[in-house]
Amino acid sequence: MATLDLINVQKSFGQTKILHDISISLADGEFLVLVGPSGCGKSTLMNIIAGLEEPSGGELQLDGRDITPLPPADRNISMVFQSYALYPNMTVAKNIEFPLAMRKVEKSKRAERVKSVAKLLQIEHLLERKPRQLSGGQRQRVAIGRALAREPRLYLFDEPLSNLDAQLRLDMRTEIKKLHQRLGATIVYVTHDQIEAMTLATRIAVMKGGVLQQLGTPYEVYNRPANTFVAGFMGSPRMNLVKARLTQESSRLALNIQTGKRPPVRIDLPDMPSAMSAYIGTEVIAGLRAEAVNLARPDMVAGPTERAVDARVEVIEPTGADTLVVLDLGGNEFTVRLEPDVSLKPGQDARFFVDLAKLVCFDAKTEKLIA
Amino acid sequence: MANRRPKGFGADRFFLYAVLLCLALLFLLPVYVMVCNSLKPLDEIRSGNLMALPIIWTIEPWLTAWSTAQIGVQPTGLKPYFLNSFLLVVPAVAISTLIGALNGYILTQFRFRGANLLFAAMLFSVFIPFQIVLIPMAKTLGVLGLAGTVKGLVFVNVVYGIGFTTLFFRNYYAAFPIELIRSARMDGADFFGVLFRILLPSSGPIIVVTVIWQFTNIWNEFLFGASFSDYSSFPITVALNNLVNSSTGVKEYNVHFAGAFIAAIPTLVVYLVSGKYFVRGLMAGSVKG
Amino acid sequence: MRTGALPKLLLSPSVLLVLVCVYGYIMFTIYLSFTASMLMPSYEWTGTASYQRLFAQENWHVSLNNLWVFASLYIGVAIVLGLGFAILIDQHIRAEGAFRSIFLYPMALSFIVTGTAWKWLLDPGVGLEHTMHNIGWEGFAFGWIKDSDMAIYCVVIAAVWQTTGFVMALFLAGLRGVDAEQISAARVDGARSWQIYLHIIIPQLGPVFVSAFVILAHMAIKSYDLVIALTNGGPGRSTWLPSVFMYQYSFTRNEMSVGAASAVMMLAAIGLVVLPYLFSEMRKVKNG
């Protein structure tokens, strides 16, 4: 397996800049997920790593070796495509064998390798079939098999689960994670689905408009998003972002939330990073996840980092596993995740406990995290 | 090969362009020879070689081919036959295109028993060797009093062109968004209303393709012309063949070349001007029904 | 919409014309082939006499043999060249449009024009051989068109020149229809360009090969104009094709029933090539 370094990678088509200075260092055995909305440049970056497109600037290194000028064939990487790209006129066995044949691997070794890959992916019974005779999930396994055959240094997955139906997608997601654990492979994976990113990655690279928004572990990206875009993109439901005025009263900071005619909400803050003090008297964007809020039952007491807040219930959405409730918090929409059997009515005023340990604040102008 | 244009100009690319250029020149050779030698006096062709540019440039061969060359028994040149071809092509193209549009409309918008079979029968008619209808058609034209006339040729070319024109329009209308037609019907459009107000106005591309296809095929047609016309009604292909093949004694190559080019000009011009529509016709005519 | 009388009424002239002038005439000619028509059609049934006479004709055997040689070379060379040209043009070249136009323009010409141009180009007295002599290469000989054994190959040359561009257009469309991701996958798998064409792209062009074959075969069987213009069947009768035979016997030699029989044979040959193709295409359309 290998380390991958992207150093200041840039890409432009004519005047349009697609990728701005992407720099990422991957350690051996890491699972990097490139995630972002359509048009963010993740597929272009993937193609550049594969060698299918040339960067306009910057360098790529595999195991410390500069691979930027090398064609795809010489990079020792494998790729699984969104549409699987199986060769329609070859059997499954021949499809898997193809990269080995191109490398002029000896015939007996090829057969052996095809067998072991097929066994690993449980597609032995499909070896003599043609791609058109396979289901979507089976084709996907064959595509993965073809990538595994060569035992490359690096695996690239370009939205491999997008064309599968929902249940199959979940099953295959687990399969891919198991594969990663088993092989200890270095993987770069592209998806627009942030749940896939969270569940599969060791590190996530969130991209937007060709710019790397944040590179971090799932925990970091989820709980300490670098800016409001990442905060809103990752997680479902998205993180609540509310404009609030930061005030100081007798050495305690407080957030004041009021938009429109609703009664203001005031939240006293526990210890906050010192960087916050620069924002006293100004507006910040407060971010809090839906699960950081609980309904305040009469017998409950607020924990050390919790604060009580009053809000009006607007919409109740039971999902079965829990209940998503949209609140009016000081005139702002605020989604909270409560127990499945909670009994609230629309229009009802209620009290909630918010866990401020999970609070993050963003600069109102730059939208960046106040660290 | 997909993906990207290779950058730079390595040895591979040079070789590629060299090969393509050679092939292109080879393909242009006959036309070059035709034009070049049509502008030379006869002795220069005989003493010199076909590839050389004219030493003495002359348009005599063209004038001869056009107005004084011997076609059969008449020294009229190709002019009257060029005219015949136009008198043949214009009505034949117009009529066969209109019929094709009507047929295509009916076959796609109306369900009735045997519609598919009828279409298949029409489609097959473009494949038959036309030799098989020569004898009965000759008889028929005689009976109708159309033998040896341009009108007769128009009739023949229309009949045997219906298959193609119907194919073109039928495929085009089959892909037409059905909601537009349905809403027009709900708005009260009748049979002709849908045809003239909805379908035909959007049929620009296929009309152009069909017209170009029919024009090229009918202008270039020879067998029917040779079988069903006489000296007054030869189309230009028959006249040209007459000029070249029946010249006894001195072979005036330059006149033959000039004549061939005269015959080729209309369809070549249409080809150059219409570009992609020409290709579309070729593809549509070759892909299934 | 349920069909009123009007559409059927408007369709019927075409149906009638096709029924009569295509299928009716075919029936008529088939009938004639079972009579003993000479200068004019006669309607007395004589069974297979005309066919027996047909098969006894040396000219018919020459025509068939020529058709076999011509068709196999014409189809084979046109497909190979057409595919080759298409692959060359597929390489993302500048001026692709210009090259395509140059290879395709012969399709816009009448076979008579093509025949006339090539007739003199290949003529030893004034064409290639003469030109070579003129330049100084005295030993060069290219008198095929005047040689009974070789003249048919000249027909092949002219026919290939005329239609290669069309076959190229067919293959180019086919090449470009191949999924680009498969090509990317093959590049990542380590395949060089020629390997990608050989193992992945060309195998997928099956349907194009079939289409090209059917169309070229049917054109070969129908070839008439080109032969007449290029060699007029000559030298002697060495470039006769069934189409030439038919015309000669029906209209010049006053053996109409034999001519009719030869036309029926041509129809049978075309049916053999085209009908299976048409059936499979119509079935494909029906099945969506």
Q: Where are the domains of chain A?
A: 4-233, 240-363
Substitution target from C189, C202, C204 for chain A, most A beta carbons within 10 A? C189
Q: Note the pLDDT tens digit of each residue in A11-20.
A: 998 888 999 9
Task: Pick the range with the lowest mean pLDDT from B18-27, B79-88, C17-26, C279-288.
Answer: C279-288
Task: Pick the range with the lowest mean pLDDT from A201-205, A266-270, C151-155.
Answer: A266-270
Cβ contact, residue pair A85, C192, below 8 Å? no
Which residue of chain B is at minimal alpha-carbon distance from A51?
A: B3
Mean pLDDT of A42-68: 92
CA atoms within 13 A on the CB side of B98: 8
Q: Note the pLDDT tens digit of each residue in C215-269.
A: 999 999 999 999 999 988 878 888 999 999 999 998 888 888 899 999 999 999 9
ipTM more than 0.90? no
Which residue of chain B is at minimal alpha-carbon distance from A54?
A: B4
Mean pLDDT of A48-54: 92
Interface of B with A (CB under 8 A): 3-4, 7
Substitution target from A89, A156, A162, A190 for chain C, most C beta carbons within 10 A? A89
Q: Note the pLDDT tens digit of each residue in B134-148.
A: 989 998 999 999 888
Backbone angles phi, psi at A156, to 5 degrees: -120, 130
Confidence band (pLDDT; 50, 70, 90) for A206? very high
Nearest to B255 by CA among B115, B120, B60: B60
Which residue of chain C is at minimal alpha-carbon distance from B216?
A: C108
The per-residue pLDDT for C288 is 44
Cβ contact, residue pair A86, C191, below 8 Å? no
Q: Note the pLDDT tens digit of each residue in A30-42.
A: 999 999 998 888 9
Query: Taking a C-beta distance cutoff of 8 angstroms, is the pair A253, A219 a contact?
Result: no
% pLDDT > 90, chain A: 52
Mean pLDDT value across chain B: 86
Q: Which of C112, C221, C225 sits opposite B129 (nearest CB)?
A: C221
> Looking at CA atoms only, how far is residue A7 from chain C in angstroms?
22
Q: Which of B191, B221, B275 sits opposite C7 (nearest CB)?
A: B191
> Looking at CA atoms only, how far is residue B108 from chain C in angstroms?
11
The domain locations on chain C are 51-286
Distances (CA, A) of B54 to B36, B44, B58, B262: 7, 8, 9, 19
DSSP for B153-204?
Answer: HHHHHHHHHHHHHHHHHHHHHHTS-HHHHHHHHHTT--HHHIIIIIIGGG-H
% pLDDT > 70, chain B: 95
Q: Note the pLDDT tens digit of each residue in C81-96.
A: 999 999 999 888 888 8
Cβ contact, residue pair B240, C112, below 8 Å? yes
B256 lies within 8 A of chain C by CB? yes
Its pTM stands at: 0.84
B42 lies within 8 A of chain C by CB? no
The per-residue pLDDT for B109 is 84
Mean pLDDT of B225-232: 89
Q: Note the pLDDT tens digit of each residue in C91-111.
A: 888 888 889 999 999 999 999
Give the count of beta carbons closer than 10 Å to the beta carbon of residue B205.
Answer: 12
A315 lies within 8 A of chain B by CB? no
The per-residue pLDDT for A220 is 93
Mean pLDDT of A229-240: 91
The per-residue pLDDT for A61 is 92
What residues form DSSP beta bridges with A288? A240
The per-residue pLDDT for A215 is 95
Q: Please state, in angstroms and rounded to a whole number, the distance separating the CA atoms of residues B244 and A180.
A: 78
Domains and CATH numbers, chain B: 11-65 (no CATH), 79-286 (1.10.3720.10)
Mean pLDDT of A291-316: 86
Tokens standing for B74? 């008449």
The per-residue pLDDT for B288 is 41
Mean pLDDT of A71-85: 90
CATH of A4-233, one of 3.40.50.300, 3.40.50.2000, 3.30.2320.50, 3.30.70.1380: 3.40.50.300
The per-residue pLDDT for C182 is 93
> Looking at CA atoms only, how far is residue C110 from chain B in angstroms?
4
Q: Note the pLDDT tens digit of each residue in C33-88.
A: 888 888 787 788 888 888 888 899 999 999 999 999 999 999 999 999 999 999 99
Mean pLDDT of B234-263: 86
> Looking at CA atoms only, how far is residue C109 from chain B in angstroms?
6
Q: Supply the angle between the helices B204-220 and B236-245 in degrees, to the nearest 10.
A: 30
> Looking at CA atoms only, how far is residue B229 from chain C in angstroms?
14
The per-residue pLDDT for B285 is 65
Nearest to A294 by CA among A239, A262, A342: A342
Mean pLDDT of C119-139: 82
Mean pLDDT of B213-242: 92
Q: Note the pLDDT tens digit of each residue in A277-301.
A: 788 888 889 899 999 998 888 888 8
> Looking at CA atoms only, how far is residue C278 from chain B in angstroms?
7
Residue A343 has pLDDT above 90, yes or no: no
Chain A residues within an 8 Å CB radius of C178 = none
> Looking at CA atoms only, how far is residue B237 from chain C in angstroms?
6
% pLDDT > 70, chain C: 98
The per-residue pLDDT for B8 is 53
Q: Please state, in angstroms and rounded to a whole number, the distance separating the CA atoms of residues C239 and A38.
A: 64
Q: Which of C182, C188, C190 sits opposite A87 (nearest CB)?
A: C182
Mean pLDDT of A302-308: 82
Which H or E run contains C141? none
Interface of A with C (CB under 8 A): 47, 50-52, 71-73, 77-79, 81-83, 85-90, 98-99, 102-103, 146, 150
Confidence band (pLDDT; 50, 70, 90) for A142? very high
Chains near A (3 or more Cβ pairs under 8 Å):
B, C
Mean pLDDT of A321-329: 91
Chains near C (3 or more Cβ pairs under 8 Å):
A, B
The per-residue pLDDT for A278 is 82
Cβ contact, residue pair C190, A73, below 8 Å? yes
Chain B residues within an 8 Å CB radius of C216 = none
Substitution target from B113, B128, B153, B252 for chain C, most C beta carbons within 10 A? B128
Which residue of chain A is at minimal alpha-carbon distance from B7?
A: A54
Which H or E run contains A187? strand A186-191
Fold for domain A240-363?
Answer: OB fold (Dihydrolipoamide Acetyltransferase, E2P) (2.40.50)
Which residue of chain B is at minimal alpha-carbon distance from C279?
A: B120
- Taking only Cα atoms into account, the Rg of chain C, rounded to an integer number of angstroms, comes to 23
Cβ contact, residue pair B124, C274, below 8 Å? yes
Superfamily in which the C51-286 domain is placed by CATH? MetI-like (1.10.3720.10)
CA angle B137, B221, C263 (to 5 degrees): 45
Q: Please state, in angstroms and rounded to a whole number, the distance separating the CA atoms of residues B240 and B261.
A: 10
Give the count of beta carbons closer than 10 Å to the beta carbon of residue B64.
Answer: 19
The per-residue pLDDT for A230 is 94
- Residue whose entry in the numeric block shows the structure tokens 């039928």: B170
Residue C1 has pLDDT above 80, yes or no: no
Which residue of chain A is at minimal alpha-carbon distance from B4?
A: A53
> Looking at CA atoms only, how far is residue B3 from chain A in angstroms?
7
Mean pLDDT of C171-175: 91
Cβ contact, residue pair B244, C119, below 8 Å? yes
Q: Note the pLDDT tens digit of each residue in B50-100.
A: 888 888 888 888 888 888 887 877 788 888 899 999 999 999 999 999 999
User: Looking at this protein, which amino acid is placed at residue B243?
Assistant: L
Q: Beta strand A31-35 with A203-208: parallel, antiparallel or unpaired?
A: parallel
Q: Please state, in angstroms and rounded to a whole number, the distance separating the CA atoms of residues C251 and C242.
A: 14
Confidence band (pLDDT; 50, 70, 90) for B9? low
Q: Supply the angle between the helices A136-149 and A107-120 in degrees, to the nearest 10.
A: 140
Backbone angles phi, psi at B144, to 5 degrees: -80, -5
Residue A89 has pLDDT above 80, yes or no: yes
Pairwise pLDDT comparison (A326 vs B283), residue with the higher score: A326
The per-residue pLDDT for B75 is 83
B82 lies within 8 A of chain C by CB? no
The per-residue pLDDT for C287 is 58
